[in-house]
Structure formats: C-alpha cells, structure tokens
A and B are shown apart, each in its own frame.
Chain A
C-alpha cells in the first residue's frame, strides 16, 4: 500500500531523474566540499570516503521536490540528489545512516523503504545555493506535501539541515 502511495512521488522523480553511474564517482574536489560520505561504503573517491562538492553531487544525481516545510513559508522548490541514488553511487552496504550536521547535531536514520525512496539530499533551494544561514549547503528534505506520511516527528528530526557528512552504518 505504501508503495502505491509513493507512486506519485516516483512520478515526480521520474520527470527529473538523471541516470546515475554505478561506481563511477566524480573526482574528489580540492576544495568546496559540501558533503562527505563514509562508513560502510564500497565506492570512494578519497580514501575510504566519498567527498563531493556541488558539481560532484549534481553529477551523481539531480531530482526536484516541490513542497512546503515547517521551517519556511509557502511552497519551496528543492533540487538535489535522491538518497538511494547517492547510496548506490557510493555502493553503500549498510542498513543505517548516520547524519552529522555542521553544528555537531547527529542523528541515526534506519534505511527503510520510505527513507530510501523519499529522502532528497537537497543542494539548491528555489534555484539558489543554500548559505549556512539558509540551512545549507546541504539539507535532507522529504516530499511532505505529497506524502503526509513524512509529516511526523521522526522525519522532521531526519530532515537534517547544514548536513556535513553521512556515514553508512549497519
């Protein structure tokens, strides 16, 4: 049933999906890294981690979500890479994800179906890059408007802003 409900979500993604290249990560940037993925991953570009800047993430994937959030007013447009795309790109081998934010906030997220299919690692907000004050540069967002199932405490907690790194854990 959940899958049925997520159908419109898929449709939304489908319009803006870009095929990702399995195991073919962009090169680690010299500077301007905005996201680091570590932990139990198979594919890396910088030692045992995968480091991305904006272009790198854009290369990995590009999707769009249009939704309102509890921290903003009105409908927002988020562009980013889908979590499952990113995980595939880094050949994630775990069932959990540890998200760490720039303010040292940390949360563990189980990688269930809803998580994998709904989470968007957003790097643009209304077409603009996000400043720190804007909760950027990377913000995990969900299709709250499309899927009321994400309008829970859990997912608000998982909607980490100022995301710094993702570690794939067991």
Chain B
C-alpha cells in the first residue's frame, strides 16, 4: 500500500527541522565560544607577556651588571662613568607600577611587590650617592657596594617571584583557553555528528522519494490503462471543473481533441443549461458531491448537435485541492428506446381502455332495448294468445333472457377486467352468505329435481372479513352451473377455513363431469365445455371467466376436480381476514331451544337481515317489523313466543314500544321481550326492565347469548329459571374438559340419588335434613340446575326457619331432579339413566 510508505517518509521529514534547529544552536554556541576565545586571546595581550617577563628578569641582569661595574670601579679596573651608566640603565628598569604598565600583572603577587619595593628603595638611596660629584662618589663606593650586596637577595627574589607568577598566570590563561577550545571541539564533534545524521536522513529521504516516484509512476500507468480501456468518455477535472484530461472515447464520441478542451470548464464544453450547472455546483464549491449530486442527465450542445448525456461524477480531495472525474455517456439511443416503449405502452393501454369502454357502452346500449323487448314479452304473455303465439312468445322470451344475461356478463367482464371492481372487504358472516345463495337457488334446484344443501367445517368462524358481494357472485355462479349441469342427484356446498386465513368453498355436484382437457379452458371467456349446452342451458359461457376474474381480484385461486359422468367439484380458495375477537365457534349441533315464533323489530335493514338469518338458522320463525309502530301493531294482532326489540329506532323507540305492547293487552302482551341495545350501562338495563323488557342483549349480536336469552324466554317462567343452564355447563366443559365434566356430573348424580331419599326421610333429625338440603342446593347450583336449586333452597329455608318439611315439596324434588337430570344429560352428552329410576322409586316409596 503506497500510503504506508508515505507515512515512513514523513518521519524523516519531521526530523529535519529538529536536526536543523540543533545544528543552528551548535553553530551559535561555537561562534560564542570562538568569540570568547578571541577575547581571551585578546586578554592575553594584556596578560604577562614575554616582554614583561623579560623586564622582570632584566632587573636582576641589569643589577648584576651594575654591581660588576661598581666592583670594577672600586678595584680601579673600570670607570666611574661606566658604573654610572649601568646604574642609570638599572634605574630606568624600575619604573613604579603607577606610571608604567610593565608590572601591572604582578600587583597581586605580594612577594614580587615587596621585593620590588625594597629594590626601588635601594635604587633611590643609591641614586643620591651616584648623583653626587665623582670624588664624593669615589669615597662612597664601599658604602654603595655594601648596599648593593645587601639588596642582592631582594633582587633575586623579585626575579624569581615575578617569573613564577608570570608562569602561573600564563598557564592559567592558556589552560582556560585550552578548555574552551576543547569544549568547542567537542561541540564541533557533536555538530559534525549531527551533520552526519542529517546526511543519512537526507539519503533515506531520497531513497524513499525515489521509490515513491516509482510507485506513483506505476499507479499512474495503471490509471491511464483504466481510463483508456473504459467504454465511457472520461473527463478528469481539476478543482474548478476545468478539463485536465480526456480519454480516447471522449474524443471519438464527442468529437473533441485534447487541445480544444484542456483548461476549459467541462460544463461549458457541453454547453449545459443552468439547471444542470446548479446540480454540479459542488465542482466549483470545492467539495465532495453528496449521493444525489453524483449523477444527472442533461441536454448538451456540442459541435452544433444536441445530445442528451448522462454524467456521473465523483471527487477526491488530493493535497493540491479537489480532483473530479466525470463519466459522460451519450444516452440519445436510450432516450429513443424509452420513448418508443412509452408510446407502445400508451397505445396498448389506450387500446385496452377503448375496448373496455366500448364493451361497456355497447352493453348499456344493448340493455335498454333488451329490457324493452323482455318487458313487452312479459306483457304479451298476459294477453290472450294462441298456442302457436305462446310458443313464439316463449322463444322470444328465452332468447331475450339469453341476450340479457350475455349483456350482463359482458358488463361484468368489462368491469372486472378493467380493474374497476375493487373488493370491499367487510365483516361478514359466511353462513349468511351461503344461506342467501341457497335461498335464491333453492327453487331452481327444486325444479331441476336436485337436492341442494350446505355444510360447514369446524373451523369456519362466524365472522370473516371479505367482500360479500363478490363472494356471493362467485358462489351463485358456481352453484347455478352445478345445478345446470347436473341432470339428477345433488349439489353440495362445503365451506371451511383452512390455514387460519384461507376461505375454501367447494361446490360438488353429481353432474356430467368435465373432460380433463377442458378443465383449464372452461375458465376462459366465452368458453363452455360443450357449446351445445350453452344453447340448452341458458348460459353465456362467461360465468366461469367472470368467476375466475373475481377470484383473481380477491387474491385467490379457483379450480375444478371432476370425473366424467360422476360429478365435479368446483373449489375456490380465497384469503380472508379473521377478526381477532372471535367467539369460540358454537357447536351448533348442541340441542337448540324449541322453535319459536319471533317478532324481530329492527329499523336497520342489515341488522334485521343478519338477526333474521341467524334466528331462522336456529330454526325459529321470524317475522320482521321495521320500526316500533309496526312492531306494536304486529304484537297486538299476532301471537309470538318472543319479541326481539331494537332499542334505538325512529318514530318509536324500543322501550316505548315495549310499554305499549305490555299495556296494550294485545295477543302478545305477555310475550317475553328481549331488548337489543348498544349500551351496556347498568342503569340502562334497569330502565329497560322498568319498560317491560325481560332481558337484553348487546350489539353486535352474540349468537350464543341471543340463543341463551331466547331459551330463557322460551323455557318457561323466567323467574324460576331453567332446568339446566347451558352457560354453566359450557364453561365447565371449556375449563375442565368434557370428560371431567361427565365425571363430575356422574358424581352429582350419585350424590343426588344418595341424599334425596335421606332428605325425604322423616325419621332423620331436622338439622341433618336441613344440612342435606343445603348441600344439595349448592351442588345443584354448581351445575346450573337452577330450578332444582331453587326448590332445594326453599326446602332448606322451611326446615331451618319454619322447622317443617312439607311432604309435597319433598316429593316434587324427585320429579324435578329427574327433569333436571335429563336436561343435564343433554348438555353433557349422556350417562346412564339407571340412577334416575332409582331416585324416582325412592321418592315415590
């Protein structure tokens, strides 16, 4: 990876300024040292120099010369003038330090200074003698000699101390100079070392930069290769969007040459409009394009032609600013293809629409005169006709019907194929659905001599979410087909819920069957298995086609299983919704209450239909009234076993109607009235009771509760309750399971049969009998045997409060137990009847 190498370059590079700084510092130090050395050397100029030392030494020399001259003069071998001369010379050597700088260096050498002082003192005293006239001098010579001899040690001392001091001082100076030199030499060595390191670093840098250059070279040649072999035109732009490089393809495709475009702004090469320029604003703003800025289509004008182009750009931040690369494609071909496709599609769609509209219009147009024809035929039928005329009228009618159904079929076809038939799902009871279909087609089946029935699967809920109209349409179609194509036998409709959301309807017949090769075909438009049947049976051949379209619309599948001459089963599977709060499918095979004659007073048509359907399914006879007024009228004139009264109705509401009925003294004045209300507030129930209603159920109608209410109403006196309450047993079965329920029921039976005789035994103590009554009452209540429970409670009360146990009450218990047991039996689904016999005999005896 080249990046790592770059990093390693950086380290030496970073070292450079550091090194440079150190060297600079060294140089400064060396310079300073040099200056100090120079200064020291300068100082040497005022250090004891050789001439100073010479002067000090010369003191002794010139003293000795004087001394010799003095001795010579004394011995007569020398002249006095010679002696005088040497004394003067000696004397001139002794200038005091105050006047001459000769001895300035020795001021801090006490030995020397003392010696010099002694010598000077001698010189001054001697000068007096020597300056005297010659004869005096001659006479004084011995004295002079003595003085001279006396001073000789001092002279010697001065020379020696002066010399040694000078030596020391020079030594000190030179060794400090030497030290400085050594120090600067060391610094220099370090400096040189630094230079060497610098050199090595530079060498390393050079090597790295060389390899980097090689790397870049190879990379750039790779890049060049990519650019040149690309199939798209590539533009390399600088940070301002100016063209730096274009590849061959760019040149060929757009007729550009490097000379004409290099340095020019790419956007102006293509003469794009301002909108495109806006999109590519990042080029000049010097930033990376965000995702949706990287690609755009634009209109370019180049070399006089207008070309639609597609540009995709990306950018990268190099150290010298942004660099952009743009791929430009000429998309005129693609545009043309897109246009052609769009046109074709539009044409096709238009064609479809035109076709559908045509069918639609034509059907409507055809319908009107058809209706006229059929209407006229109807009227004709009512007029006196000859046999021949009747025949002809029938022919016209039949043909007219066929045409009408054809037209209707075409309309439906058009509606469903143009997608106008949107399913409208709603909560619907599948039973109602099938009921309406069978009700409608029952007559047709009957006239064909066929049995029509329907069954449901155990999992079919009472409520599903589907479009009832569409489902009914399909069902009608399938069932009517079945009827048509079944000469004899039966048509069965089976309905179930599979996979928890698939409604499956199977219409089976014992008809002529369908040949295997026709099974697919028949679902096509205008197809029938055998065209001759179309003529015999008034079919358009459109039915299955429409059915299939509807099933497709509902997202389901439709098909047929068939065996020729045996029968066919048309099936459809349609996904439906299942509302969450599904009441447990009530086992409708449970014994219903006895069929009742019920007056249904409900203003809402749908509600009326639903309730009415349900009630009829339960086996009841239902008379419908649309509002309170009608309800009251009906109740007055007819006998009903129960009245189902909606609470909120216009003109006259439920409670008012109930009061009217109760107070009207009509034929159903005493019939139990069950109110149907949307509200469940306790106060409401109370007020309904006051109005004369006996019970109420809430909307939406719960079939189970409604059935219970009706049973309560039918089962005799509401106050005394029923023999065996269904809901108690149901909940027992739900919680404990059927088997356990049976076991418990058997246990109850045993208890009853054991204890009822005991209760009736007058020999037993009263408190015991009272306790028995109490226990049995509780047991009875546990199984919902309300009447038995009530009776037992009464016996218990009589025993405990009144202290009596009436024989008739006791004997009634036996019979009541038998009845209750039968009822319980029915509920729980049976156990043996031997116990009952035992109880009866015990009670009777």
- Interface residues, chain A, with chain B CB atoms under 8 Å away: 70-73, 102-103, 105, 131-135, 151-153, 156-157, 161-162
Q: Are B45 and A162 interface neighbours, CB within 8 A?
A: no
B95 at the interface (CB under 8 A from A): yes
User: Is A72 in contact with B89, judged by CB distance below 8 angstroms?
Assistant: no
**Alpha-carbon separation in the docked complex, A157 to B61 (Å):** 18
Nearest first, the 6 A-B pairs at minimum CB distance are A132-B88, A71-B100, A70-B101, A73-B99, A133-B92, A103-B89
B58 within 8 A of A: yes
What residue of chain A has the Cβ atom nearest to residue B94's Cβ?
Answer: A133
**B581 in the interface (beta carbon within 8 A):** no
Option from B50, B58, B65, B92 in Cβ contact (under 8 Å) with A134: B92
CA distance in complex: A133, B131 (Å): 12
Query: A103-B65, A153-B45 in contact; A132/B98 too (CB < 8 A)?
Result: no
Which residue of chain A lies nearest to B85 when distances are taken between CB atoms in the complex?
A132
Q: Are B100 and A162 in contact (CB under 8 A)?
A: no
A72: chain B residues at CB < 8 Å are: 99-100
B260: interface (CB < 8 Å):
no
Q: Could you tell me the dominant secondary structure of chain A's interface residues?
A: loop
Contact, CB under 8 Å: A152 / B45: yes
The answer to whether A153 touches B51 (Cβ under 8 A) is yes
CB closest residue in chain B, given A162: B89
Contacts of B88 in A (CB 8 A): 131-133
- Closest A residue to B100 by beta carbon equals A71
In the assembly, what is the distance between CA of A151 and CA of B100, in Å?
15
Instruction: Collect the chain B residues with CB atoms within 8 Å of residue A70's CB.
Output: 100-102
CA distance A141 to B89 in the complex (A): 18
CB–CB B92/A135 < 8 A: yes
Please provide the chain B residues from 89 to 132 with a CB less than 8 Å away from any CB of chain A in the complex: 89, 91-92, 95, 98-102
Complex contact A71–B98 (CB within 8 A): no
Q: Which of B49, B50, B92, B95 contacts A162 (CB 8 A)?
A: B92
B57 to chain A, nearest CB (A): 11
Q: How far is the CA of A162 from the CA of B91 in the complex (A)?
A: 12
Contact indicator B99/A157 (Cβ below 8 Å) = no
**A103 — which chain B residues lie within 8 A by C-beta?**
58, 61-62, 65, 89
Nearest-neighbor residue (CB-CB) of A102 within chain B: B89
In contact, A161 and B92 (Cβ under 8 angstroms): yes
How far in angstroms is the closest Cβ of chain A from B91?
5
Contact pattern, B 490-507, Cβ under 8 Å of A = 1, otherwise 0: 000000000000000000
CB-CB under 8 A from B51, the residues of chain A are 153, 156-157
The answer to whether A133 touches B91, judged by C-beta atoms less than 8 angstroms apart, is yes
Check if A71 sits within 8 Å of B91, measured CB to CB: no
Contact residues in B for A132 (Cβ distance below 8 Å): 85, 88-89, 91-92
Q: Which residues of A contact B102 (CB under 8 A)?
A: 70-71
In the bound complex, what is the Cα–Cα distance between A135 and B85 (angstroms)? 12
Within 8 A of A (CB), among B28-84: 45, 49-51, 58, 61-62, 65
Q: Which residue of A lies closest to B84 (CB)?
A: A132
- From A71, A105, A153, A162, give the contact of B101 (CB < 8 A): A71
Q: What is the bound-complex CA distance between A144 and B89, given in angstroms? A: 24
5 further contact pairs, Cβ within 8 A, besides A70-B101, A153-B51, A156-B49: A70-B102, A71-B99, A73-B99, A103-B58, A134-B92
CB distance from B276 to the nearest CB of A (A): 78
- Which residue of chain B is the closest to A161 with respect to CB atoms? B92
A131 to B85, CA, bound (A): 10
Q: Considering the chains assembled together, what is the distance between the CA atoms of A53 and B75 in angstroms?
A: 32
Instruction: Look across to chain A and name the residue whose beta carbon is closest to the beta carbon of B99.
Output: A73
Q: Which residues of B contact A105 (CB under 8 A)?
A: 58
CA distance A72 to B95 in the complex (A): 9
How far apart sit A103 and B102, CA to CA, in the bound complex (Å)?
18
Residue ID in chain B nearest A130 by CB atoms = B92
Cα separation A157 to B49 with both chains bound (whole Å) = 10
Interface hub of A133, A134, A162 (most chain B Cβ within 10 A): A133
CA distance A162 to B62 in the complex (A): 13
Residues of B within 8 A of A131 (CB): 88
- A135 → chain B closest CB, angstroms: 5
User: Is A71 within 8 A of B89, CB to CB?
Assistant: no
Chain B proximity of A124: nearest CB distance (Å): 17
Contacts of A133 in B (CB 8 A): 88, 91-92
